[in-house]
Chains A and B, each alone.
Chain A
Amino acid sequence: MYICPMHNKELLKGTLKTIILKLLAEKGRMYGYEITQTVKGMTEGQIQLTEGALYPTLHKLEADGFVTTEKEKIGKRVRKYYTLTPNGTKAASVKVAEFEEFVRLIGLLLHPKTSMQ
């Protein structure tokens, strides 16, 4: 799953799809390694996606029609870029909204006093 010294794996487990969809919505097109580096950079190195979590999720998103891929030759290598499909764009906004609401509700549970004011 994730290598995240400070964060519980289980907490992040269900959010990987949301994170990937959101990143693709922001950046347009990305390749696998770029996604891991972007997540690492944005979280001050605290959240590092492992390849074992990333690629199965990316391939699943592709199979489900949320992303399409295009290949580009880089010397001897082939780089695979992921882009959101229209369905993927919709899924991204729904998932992000869902997760924000979830975070808000957890906030209500964790800080009952603050939220009652």
Chain B
Amino acid sequence: MMVELSEKQTDLVEQLIEGSELSYHPFKEELLDHICTDIESRMEAGNAFPSAIEQAFDTFPKDEIKEIEEEILSSLNQKHAIMKKVSLVALASLLLCSTFIWAHQQEPPSISPLGTTFEITSAFGQRVHPILKEKKMHLGVDFRAPEGTPVMATSDGKVVKAGETYGYGIRIIIQHDESYQTLYAQLSALNVEVGQEVKKGDVIGKVGSSGLSTAPHLHYEVKKDGKYEDPEKYLKP
């Protein structure tokens, strides 16, 4: 004999479930059907509604109902928590990346290493080397300046080289970010050391005539992503 609970009986079951103070509606709904079906099958086996409902809730105490809900929620929340974590990490790295990119875009050299007044005596590009007398690519620009003129960092960065080489003489290389690097050569003195952080406008050395040079001047190079750029493009903000 098929039994189906009346609306009134179903309401009673619902009221009893309410006593467990469930908050997760999908489970509440499912539980109502589960217990009603259980009661119906007990009634089909010959029990009257009052004893059937009592038996059903006996095997399913109120506090246990709440525990099941908590277990369901915790298993679902685990998933949500992981998703949350993942999206947080994604957001954080996006933020980091954009700050990084933004920082990069802020970094190109934007002043002349000798300040606002300067005189360029040899431009970037092909030229005959004044000493070697060969056609050579001039990788930077030369500024005429008296010995001892202060040389400034043209952007914030970190000193990666500060020392003497055969051609450049006393020279400094500053890494501004992953993209930009500047070089200051033929100096007479160094004011910085390798590893030092410098700010745009900091005096890093003095003009000289060290290395392959005929007279005091500053040789200045700008590299972007490893390629030589015309420094004249980077003398003004």
Q: Name A's B-contacting residues (CB within 8 A).
A: 31-33, 37, 51-52, 55-56, 59-60, 63-64, 74-80
Contact = CB atoms under 8 A, between A and B. Distances in A.
B71 interface: yes
Contacts of A64: 79
A76 B7 CA distance: 6
Contact of A59 (B29, B36, B60, B75): B75
Contacts of B11: 76
A58 B76 CA distance: 11
B38 interface: yes
Contacts, number: 62
B149 interface: no
Interface string B55-80: 00000100010011001100110010
B5 interface: yes
B228 interface: no
Contact of B79 (A32, A55, A63): A63
Given A63-B79, A80-B29, A33 B5 contact: no
Contacts of A52: 64, 67-68, 71
B64 to A, nearest CB: 6
A60 B78 CA distance: 10
A79 B40 CA distance: 14
A31 B5 CA distance: 18
B119 interface: no
A92 B106 CA distance: 56
Nearest to B4: A75
A31 B33 CA distance: 9
